[in-house]
Structure 1
């Protein structure tokens, strides 16, 4: 078996205003780092409004095409913007995440990494925020449950910012177990350990500013026990690489080897519980070199697990 890399040039068409941290160069650097790797390279198909509506309000989904500008950029909030090429990029992200689930469940690949942008884990039911329009990983999780017959899934988020959107989109579904480790305090200000969701299916892991890999490993230890309890049939990852010590938007002190360690541990759990099924979706990471090297280490661990 192999690891699938799912991406599309349209994801480079979501252009950023000058100075925005979420920019085209992020994906360019990441994909360049992955060129030497022996991956099953698949094109992200165009997603559909129906797929987005698995987690988002239909009215919100319908509004997005009407807000795409014909030139320059418009801001949806202080961090989130649209450009003329954004709609295709947004729906390639949706389609890529769904394609990854199908590729893994159909045996086309053992696991998969979706290198798409804009990211998604801050988008709520009817609210774009934090560079995010649609919740790609939540859509993929719901697709696995609603359309592919899985009974339980887990979404593990190690982006430095709390995955408030994914939490909001999945917390009402007891079939989905969501874990987020993140620096706290930090934007968006959510993600306290006391936030467990109406079904107890949310697990937040606040990490102190300036903490590093050793603290991360200790903090994630209870997650493995919870996964044994939940017995997910697929594990999805919100793979943000902005916990790296060089990232400009936060203060955690992870190194490349910390992302590799965490990926390997997740794959180990997936091998025991989920037939090795792992789908990873790119989220943050804003130092270009740190993003590229950390993502490469992440994918290399997926490849090891796929052999």
Structure 2
């Protein structure tokens, strides 16, 4: 082969190698820049995980983009999977690098990511509170639909999948079981909320007091207004409707310059029960009235329509409350 041709091939090879190196460096820098940008922005925008409002899907998307939201501030899902006897890869929302200490207390701070922000403000140091100096967003949902999701929750629902040492001998898709369970939940949370407000009427409980109390140790079905408001103050500035979750989440991310989108529920659901068959239309009149009585502030503040004892064909779960993302 002529020397001229060899020189040409050598030069071409060097140029091609340089292009590959440039492309790899460009892609790496872009990815690094995205993660750095998202890390910076996560300190400006924090997610408040109201139970059964699609929050795990949001935490999962955050984890995929290097953002710690909700339970990811406290949880290592690899360790959690091992603890409850699971070895499934990708269990939970997929985050394993918490930045706050978590010791699974048996009191009001049992699941801090499910606590209303005003609770963390009262009982947690600013250095251990992700909401300090951040703008907050959350998802709101129709209480009738939300309690169905609570019922099928694998952590605290009926014959919960991840609870140990419980019998699972009843049909979860029997409306009788749904209504008995829902009535008990509403009654329990209502009494706990009433007791907590009575005990804190003259000021917050001390850390020593809440450690000895079981009041609101589980945050399931706490009224959503308890999260959004602290007295007359709005503490969660950005509210997303569950009924338009993907669309409104994407709009909020765009507003904050965060490069993240939420896939469909089919693709992004974390603890979705594919065997669930009951809906809010299976709630009986007694359960409906109990929900109306307890969750009336949610219906009124967030524009969800209450029914007296049954759902007509025209009933919609959608809210008339307009949010400003």
- Answer 1 or 2: which has greater helix percent: 2
| Bin for the TM-score computed over the shorter chain | under 0.3
TM-score of the superposed pair, with normalisation by structure 1:
0.28
Task: Give TM-score, length-normalised by structure 2.
Answer: 0.27
